[in-house]
Structure 1
Amino acid sequence: MVLDDKGEYAPDQLAAYEVPLRTGDELRTPHDVAAVLRTVHTGTHIYPRDRGSTVMGMTLFTVDPTTVTPAPFTNDDWPLTLLRCLTSPSAEERPQARLCGFLFLAPDRLRLYVDTEEVLPGITAADVRPGGARTALLAALSSLLDEQRLTTTDTDDPHRSRVVDLTDW
């Protein structure tokens, strides 16, 4: 994972953290990795010489997760949960709506750009609250995309055919 200060792109201003994705025979979840990164990226940490190097001009830190107390789950983790469910659903919950992109509109509002093969042509922008009822939303998303009562007007967004407001759903 490469992290930066706001707006930095120069390699010497970036820090890369290498976190092993396996712990024995188990894979770490995206939340596990985010929790470890949140811990090592905040506060003061001293890395042994054998844990730091450079890669592609960036400072590289090799993180040993067994020595890090992962940061607790926060409200900022809800969007990651929602996006992960949309991009990697289980076989039982495979949605008909396919995620094409997303945009944070506010701390508690996320615009999902989705398309469907069967419901509507074009890209639908669905505004949601990531911390809401995700399981119910994911199950009903495809059927809600053509609800006229939920359709709103947003002429500023050129990436959609329509906008559906699901923030109160």
Structure 2
Amino acid sequence: MSTGTQVFSSSRVGTVMGMTLIRVDPAQVAPVGPGEYDDAFTVLRTVTYPWTEEQPDPRLRGFLLQGSDRMRLYLDREDDTDVVAADVRPSGALTALLAALPSLIDERERAVPGDADDPHCSRLVDLTGW
């Protein structure tokens, strides 16, 4: 977070391991509201680090932000080289969507062949309205 140029007294400036350290008083820093991509970060964190100790299935191979409220997740499974792209809305019902994601991307009737403009997937599943 940056609050602009400030002048600090020498009592608040020091060094740690050769780097400049400025001690900040949290009471004097204005709180910042939610950012534009906080929901997208929640999606990525949940898909990458599920609540179980097992490996995520499906695995996140990559992602593409397509605006402030649309992102494409590239997913695959350990035993399958098929990459599925799932378009999601980060502001939507994330808990339900992320819990159902493994079964939703396997439903062949939801999928369309990969987009010619996107060579990174073999199937595309639009979950923006889910």
Instruction: Give the match for residue 97 of structure 1.
Output: 58
1:94 deviates by 6.5
Aligned to 2:86: 126
Structure 1 or 2: larger helix share? 1
- Aligned residue runs from structure 1 range 71-150, under 5 A: 71-91=32-52, 95-117=56-78, 121-150=81-110
CA distance in 2, matches of 1:51, 1:89: 40
TM-score, length-normalised on structure 1? 0.60
Query: Are the equivalent residues in 2 in contact too, given 1:113–1:124 (CA < 8 A)?
Result: yes
Across the aligned residues of Structure 1 and Structure 2, the Cα RMSD in angstroms comes to 2.9
Tell me how far apart the structure 2 counterparts of residues 72 and 63 of structure 1 sit (CA, whole Å).
22
Cα distance in 2 for partners of 1:84, 1:47 equals: 37
CA gap of 1:66–1:138, structure 2 versus 1, over 3 A, is same
Aligned partners of 2:24 and 2:124: how far apart in 1? 44
Contiguous gaps of at least 5 residues in structure 1 = 1-36
**Correspondence 1:168 to 2:129:** yes
- Contact 2:111–2:123 at 8 Å: present in 1 too? yes
Q: TM-score scaled to structure 2, two decimals?
A: 0.76
Larger Rg: 1 or 2?
Answer: 2
From 112, 119, 129, the equivalent of 1:152 is 112
